[in-house]
Structure 1
Amino acid sequence: MDKFSIQSLIDETAQKEEKNGLFELENPYTLEINLKNQRVMMKKGAMVAYAGDVKFEREGLLSKGLGNILKKAVSGEGTSMMKAEGIGRVYAADNGKRIRLLHLENESINVNGNDVLAHEEAVASNIKLMKSVAGVMGGGLFQVNLSGTGYIAVTTHGTPLTLLVKPGQPVFTDPNATVAWSGNLTPSIKTDISLKTLIGRGSGESFQMKFEGDGWVIIQPYEESYVVRE
C-alpha cells in the first residue's frame, strides 16, 4: 500500500478502539475520555471532538469562594472548567501541549491552574491564590490542589523535568515554566530586583517561586504567557 495514500493516513491515525478506560491517551497530545453514565471535569475549551450522548456544562474554577473581584483579574482558559457527562467519547487537547496521565491514590498534587486538562469528578479540587502580588505579575496567580483517588490529566509544553526538593536545599523556578509540585509543598515568591533592573522584564527572571521542604516540582522547557485584564 502506498504510504502516502488516504488509507495509510487513516490506518496510522485512527482512534484505538481497543482502549476503553475512562482516561486514555490516543497520542501524546490528545486525551480520550470514555464516559459510561459518568461525569468528569475538563478544561473549558479543551474539547476538540466527541461522539455519543454527552452534555457539557461550564463551571468557573473561581466560582468556589474566591470572590467576583478576582474573576475580573484573570483571563485565559485556565480560569474555568466544564463538566462533561453522559455516554460517549470525548477528545480533549490544549494547544498541542503534551498530556500526562496520573492516578492519585489518596494523594495530593498542586498544579498551575492553566495546566489542568481534566480530572475525575471524585478528585477534589481546591483553588489557592499566591500570597504575593509578585505571583500575579509573574503569571502564577492561582494554583489548583487536586486530592483524593482518581485520574487526572495535566499538560506541558514539551517534555517535563522533575526536580527533587530536599530539606535545606530549596529549588527556585520561573512561575511561567512551573507546572506542578507535590501536595506537601507551599511555594513562596522571591523577588530579585537586581535581575529585574538588568533585564527590564517582569517575568520569571525577576520573580521566582521558592520551594522548600521535602518533595518535588515539575517544570517545562517553555515560559508560558498569561494575560491579565481589567
Structure 2
Amino acid sequence: MPVKTVAEFVSAYREKDVSPEAFELENPYLLEVRLNGSVWAKSGAMVARTGQVKFTRQGLMEQGLGNLLKKAVSGEGMVLMKMEGQGRVYLADTGKKITLLRLDNETIFANGNDVLALETGVSNQITMMKRVAGMMSGGLFNVKLSGSGIVAITSHYDPLILKVSAATGPVFTDPNATVAWSGGLSPEIATDISFKTLMGRGSGESIQMKFEGEGWVVVQPYEETYMQASSGG
C-alpha cells in the first residue's frame, strides 16, 4: 500500500454523506445514525458522536417482564440503549460486518448478539426455542423484530443465505453460526451425537437448529461465543 500524505489520508477516510436515510454505512463495519428523535442501539456499540444525544439503558417498561425473565435464564440476551436527541452517532461491534435491512410491516428473527441498531418503528421481543435443550446454548435465545423501519444486523465476515423449502427438506445450522431467519420459520432444536466432533463439540450431544417450511436462514462462517452483554453506553 503506498504511503499517503495527511491530506490524502483525510480525504480517503472522511465521513461521506451519500444517503438520505437515517442509517448510513460509512464502511462495511461502521454505521452512522443521523439522529432526530430516538433510535435503539446495542449497548456499548457507540464509537463516536456529535450533537446533543442522551443515552438511556433499556428499562423494564420497554423490555417487559417476560423479556427480563428470559434474559435471566439465558445469561445473555440483548441489551439495548435508547439514543435520543439530535446529532450523529457512530456504531460498531468488534469489527463485524453490518447489513441494513428495511422492514415493511414484516417480521424477522435474529440472534440478539447480532442486532446492532433498530428504528423505533421496529419492536423487539426475546424468543426461546421450544425444547428445554435449547437452554444449553446462549445462541438459542433470539429476538423477534417486527414492524416497519430499518434494522442493522452484524455478522463475522460475509453472511450466507440458505433457502428453506419443503422441496429441499430441512436445513440444519449451528446455533453459534446462525445470524437471522425469515419470520415464517419456527426452528426447533435437534441433537445428534454423531455430529459432536464435526460441529466443534468436544463432548455431549451437538445442538443444532432445524429449519423447515418456506423461507430463508442466514449463517456466518464463524462460531460466535456468547457472553453476558456489556452494560456500557
TM-score by length of 1: 0.88
- Matching of residues 1-230 of structure 1 within 5 Å: 3-36=3-36, 38-59=37-58, 63-66=63-66, 70-75=70-75, 79-167=78-166, 169-196=169-196, 201=202, 206-227=206-227
Deviation string 1:1-38 (CA, Å, 9 cap, x unpaired) is x84222211111100144442000000000000012x1
RMSD, aligned CA: 2.5
Give 5+ residue unaligned stretches, structure 2: none
Give 5+ residue unaligned stretches, structure 1: none
State the one-letter code of the partner of 2:112: G
Cα pair 1:74 1:227 within 8 Å, conserved: no
> Residue 18 and residue 181 in structure 1: after superposition, are their counterparts in 2 closer, same or farther (change >3 A)?
closer
> Residue 69 and residue 108 in structure 1: after superposition, are their counterparts in 2 closer, same or farther (change >3 A)?
closer
TM-score by length of 2: 0.87
State the one-letter code of the partner of 1:176: N
User: Match of 1:66, SS?
Assistant: helix
Partners of 2:69 and 2:144 in 1: CA distance: 21
Which moves more between the two structures, 160-169 or 179-188?
160-169
Partners of 1:60 and 1:226 in 2: CA distance: 22
Deviation string 1:159-178 (CA, Å, 9 cap, x unpaired) is 00000000151100000000
Cα pair 1:50 1:89 within 8 Å, conserved: yes
After TM superposition, give the deviation of residue 49 of structure 1 in Å: 0.6
Aligned length: 225
Partners of 2:40 and 2:68 in 1: CA distance: 22
After TM superposition, give the deviation of residue 82 of structure 1 in Å: 0.5
Q: Percent identity?
A: 53
User: Match of 1:217, SS?
Assistant: strand
Cα pair 1:40 1:119 within 8 Å, conserved: yes
Partners of 2:173 and 2:203 in 1: CA distance: 14
